[in-house]
A = this chain, B = another copy of it.
Amino acid sequence: MASWVPIEQHSDFSLQNLPFGVFSTQSLDQRIGVAVGNHVLDMKALAHNDVFVGLDFDTATLQKSTLNQYAALGRDIHRSVRTFLQNLLSDKTPHAALLRDNDRLRSAALISMRDVKMHLPMAVGDYTDFFVVPYHAQNVGQTLPAAFFEQPLGYHGRASSVVVSGTPVRRPRGQFVGQDGKATFGPSQKLDYEVEFAAFVTHGQQKMGESIEVNDGEDLIFGFVLLNDWSARDIQRRETAPLGPFNGKNFCTTISPWIVSPDALEPYRTAPLRSGPWLPYLNGGREDSVYDILIQVQIQSKSGTFDVSRCNTKNVVFSFPQMLAHHTAGGCPMRTGDLIATGTLSGATPQEYGCLLEVTCDGANQLKVSNAQNQEMCRTFLDDGDSVIFTTYLPRKDGIGGVGFGMCEGQILACH
């Protein structure tokens, strides 16, 4: 499917993708946009100019400053809007005339990505981080919890700490046990990233106390983002028993700016690591319930940019619909804009490790890497000034256009 908008061959944002985000420019207030090639299509302008003719949905939802109200419309409407936008941007359909041949609207609504600032796409109600990847614990020699294969274990993260890619990450201070064995307070000495994949929820149950079936879970996912669950290992270690992660995690969580729809990821479906047996409430749904997406991890330091590892989103023992079913099994209310993440997406080999805790064995070993420019970098944990960058590497089986997430990036700032 070719577009009249120029789209580079390796662009993340072909007509197969069309992810939604929230942006602003120097002259435009915060609003909803769709990424296409190196441009952002201004949904507020399109809705305001009655471009969505013939589509039966509340176009006011596309004129808000977050995607929550649009997400709440449900998957059927998202699919019809997606198809409409593909036709609008295609060079082979009459719909294209609505925008391509309208000079005033086109020049107003099609904005160069260079000129936009991205914002958090959804107002996050609650953020939940699961732990459904066995290799993350195994790679650091930990025994998996007793219930690991029987339920998607998870904890509630900090919604206020979720930020969009590009937001600097302040190195946290906290309590930890120093090298002298005494409790101390100061800048974390073990600042780490975690490679994760996350889903935004369209809407939850009708009533508190109700649960979501695995079979219904697919239709409750608005889309996906890459997620960096920044972790301060020393702070985390001291606080974690018995209540789980707290200050070791709640200082920042970064997500990629574009929400990629399940429809765009349909060609990349695969099966998870396990297919059961489970207790009945976790049964149902498709066999190819997860995605085969490689996430490339890079550290950009003063000495250059370095590949660290590649993690695959398929290395999970439970799918998002199963996570939703478990999360709501007791009646926990799920709401539009809630965010659920997989936990660290490590694989079994060092090339697939999803955090420096694994790569350096909690700092016991040094990570030594070089790049094509013969630059070198050594790390145990992250230094001030380092940027951690996640991008996707999606093999295009049919060769007709890429699907990616853009960048999930954050740079470490020194403590205040």
Report which A residues bind B (CB closer than 8 A): 125-126, 131, 145-147, 150-151, 153-161, 163, 167, 170, 172-175, 183-185, 188, 204, 208-211, 232, 235, 238-248, 250-252, 279-281, 326-327, 329-335, 338, 413, 416
Residues of B within 8 A of A235 (CB): 330
In this complex, what residue of B is CB-closest to A413? B209
Q: How far is the CB of A66 from chain B (nearest CB, A)?
A: 14
Tell me whether A330 and B232 are in contact (CB under 8 A): yes
In this complex, what residue of B is CB-closest to A247? B330
Residues of B within 8 A of A211 (CB): 173
Q: What are some 21 contacts across the A-B interface (CB < 8 A)? A: A125-B159, A126-B158, A126-B160, A146-B238, A151-B239, A155-B244, A156-B158, A160-B204, A161-B208, A167-B208, A172-B329, A173-B329, A185-B279, A185-B329, A188-B330, A210-B416, A241-B242, A243-B245, A248-B330, A250-B327, A251-B332
With A131-B243, A232-B330 known, 8 other A-B pairs at CB within 8 A are: A125-B159, A154-B243, A158-B332, A160-B334, A160-B335, A173-B329, A175-B329, A241-B242
Residues of B within 8 A of A338 (CB): 160
Tell me whether B246 and A172 are in contact (CB under 8 A): no
Tell me whether B244 and A183 are in contact (CB under 8 A): no
Given A160-B126, A244-B242, A279-B184, A170:B329 Cβ within 8 A: no
Residues of B within 8 A of A326 (CB): 247
Give the interface SS of chain A, mostly helix, strand, loop or mixed: loop
Residues of B within 8 A of A238 (CB): 146-147, 151
Q: How far is the CB of A199 from chain B (nearest CB, A)?
A: 16
Contact of A239 among B147, B188, B232, B335 (CB under 8 A): B147
Contact of A330 among B210, B250, B281, B335 (CB under 8 A): B250
Residues of B within 8 A of A173 (CB): 211, 281, 329-331
Tell me whether A185 and B131 are in contact (CB under 8 A): no
> How long is the Cα–Cα vector from A174 to B334 in the complex, in angstroms?
16
> How long is the Cα–Cα vector from A245 to B251 in the complex, in angstroms?
20
Tell me whether B159 and A126 are in contact (CB under 8 A): yes
> How long is the Cα–Cα vector from A341 to B123 in the complex, in angstroms?
24
In this complex, what residue of B is CB-closest to A129? B243
Contact of A159 among B159, B280, B281, B413 (CB under 8 A): B159
